[in-house]
A and B are shown apart, each in its own frame.
Chain A
Amino acid sequence: MLSLLSDAAIAGKVFDGGTHKELLEEIVLMARRVVGACGATLFLIDLETEELVVELVHGGSEKELENLRLPVGRGIAGYVAATGQALAVENVQNDVRWAQDVGAKMTYRPDRILGVPLIRDDEIIGVLELIDKEDGASFSVDDIDSVSRFAIMAAIALEQSKTASTLTWVLRAALADLGDGRKTLSKVSLDQAKRLEHDPEHHQQLAVAARLGRILRAGPAERRLCLELVESLLAFRQVSTEEQSDP
């Protein structure tokens, strides 16, 4: 797990740009991709007022929902925040948990919603709602499981992004982890993720990766030059991938 996180982190650092807003965007995009959802809404909790605040909307009603605040316990997102449990709702418009007054403002009326809490150290920091699947199917138990697993790592990324600006790598690790069977994300794995953050060698690797990323984004000429330089360096050190894997 540690090496998986490390690799994913380095890969992430090379390819990401990284502001908080971009991180939110990436969370929503990736979550939608996990289940093939038509839209999504990301709420973060304002702990002072104990309200859910809409941070990002995909797939319609962006204007109507902008900066909307919902008390915890209200609406489907409020229910997810209050109980801390993921929830798949069919026939949303007729569900007693659906906040009818908010729904009435929306230009897009969802049929199905899958809501998952974003939890960090037992504290609910937000709710991610996925809206209607592209294939028109119901959200399955597997969908709940996948998005929940993704949400665990998304919550870590969101928390970390408060102190370190770019940690979308955690999300990439989450995606890699999704392909790793239906394994439980244990506290141990999460602790390993935390440990990685404080590993100086890992930070050095991230620094190298970040600089490489900047060169790769600069343009084709820079990329060619970078490649030549790296190859020269490798030839000089007589290090190849095969040799690295030799005991």
Chain B
Amino acid sequence: MKVSLPAWSDKFSAENLSLVSDGLPEGPITREWAWGNTSGRGIRVGILDSGIDGHHPAVGKEISGWASFYLDRASGEVVRSMEVHDDSFGHGTACADVVRRLAPEADLVSIKVLGSNLRGRAVEFLAGLDWAIQEGLDVINLSLGTTNSDYYAKFHRLTEEAYFRGICIVTAVNNMPIVSYPSMYSSAFSVACVPDREGYDPFEFYYSSSPPPEFGASGVGIDLAWAGGNTLSVTGNSFAAPHIAGLLARIRSKHRDLTPFQLKTVLRATALNTSGAEL
């Protein structure tokens, strides 16, 4: 007699269960194993921000996709445009510059959700993130967040969906001592900037044993590309997050099968405070 199994069990039935590789090395996880000799090629990184100045020399390789989202006041609907856009402030261009420093050959997709309007920011952000996930981008950088708790569940649903689909959502924690979403979710890679140390190294990052945030990277007084072909010395958690996004693009281009939780393991193993480098 066939026993009926509880719901969801069929994923583990003999015909559905497949052999999977653990994707990890036999020896220790090292920086060389993780991202040595890679450039992010073949990995699509979404920058959800104020747009990207595609002509800026520091952005380098051509932007491979454009989407912008804005709230139409008349209809109350969020409208999507796939036209090439500019950067309203420079913030997105700076993030693109950081990602390219680590993953120069990654394909960048500019998803503009920050314009000059203040109303409807959370819905534009939500629509942009939803689109990026449905597009199946490999890494999505969010150097922004919402502090509006009314959106907690909506962003949580999307971040969880991304996690299970193998999409890394990298998100800066707020610069102010307040909670913002999705940076408080364990399924995201949350990042803050670390205090300025001797010399800038884009590969310098740390793991926090008391998250959130889970990771710390450079973000204090860095010279980065800005809108209009400019360069600016900037500080903020916003500029730490794309360091982790760029690093993930590198790792993913070499190790395609790793899931977000394995990628967190790799980052933890290669963080400077874990790998035994002198702090």
Provide the residues of chain B in CB contact with A148, threshold 8 Å: 175-177
Residue contact B176 to A73, C-beta cutoff 8 Å? no
- Name which residue of chain A comes closest to B220, CB basis: A141
CB distance from A198 to the nearest CB of B (A): 18
Per-residue CB contact flags for chain B residues 237-275 toward chain A (1 = under 8 Å, else 0) read: 010000000000000000000000000000000000000
Q: How far is the CA of A121 from the CA of B152 in the complex (A)?
A: 13
Residue contact A96 to B88, C-beta cutoff 8 Å? no
Residue contact A121 to B114, C-beta cutoff 8 Å? no
CB distance from A151 to the nearest CB of B (A): 7
Q: How far is the CA of A47 from the CA of B121 in the complex (A)?
A: 13
Residue contact B175 to A73, C-beta cutoff 8 Å? no
Provide the residues of chain B in CB contact with A85, threshold 8 Å: 174-176, 236, 238
- With contacts A88-B235, A95-B232 taken as known, whether A72 is within 8 angstroms of B118 at the C-beta atoms is yes
Provide the residues of chain A in CB contact with B112, threshold 8 Å: none
Q: How far is the CA of A206 from the CA of B100 in the complex (A)?
A: 57
Q: How far is the CA of A111 from the CA of B118 in the complex (A)?
A: 28
Q: How far is the CA of A186 from the CA of B149 in the complex (A)?
A: 12
CB distance from B257 to the nearest CB of A (A): 36
Number of interface residues of B (CB under 8 A): 37
Tell me the chain A residues, 87-143 only, with Cβ under 8 Å from chain B: 87-88, 90, 95-97, 116-117, 119, 121-124, 141
Per-residue CB contact flags for chain A residues 46-66 toward chain B (1 = under 8 Å, else 0) read: 010010000000000000000
Interface window among A7-15, A18-26, A76-84: A76-84
- With contacts A73-B88, A81-B118, A83-B144 taken as known, whether A185 is within 8 angstroms of B236 at the C-beta atoms is no
Beyond the given A122-B122, A144-B175, A152-B178, could you list 10 further A-B residue pairs with CB under 8 A, ordered by the A residue number?
A: A50-B118, A81-B118, A82-B114, A82-B116, A83-B114, A87-B236, A119-B178, A149-B177, A184-B179, A186-B178
Chain B residues with a Cβ under 8 A of chain A: 50, 88-91, 114-119, 121-122, 144, 146-151, 174-179, 195, 220, 226-228, 230, 232-233, 235-236, 238
Chain A residues with a Cβ under 8 A of chain B: 45, 47, 50, 71-73, 79, 81-88, 90, 95-97, 116-117, 119, 121-124, 141, 144-145, 148-149, 151-152, 182-187
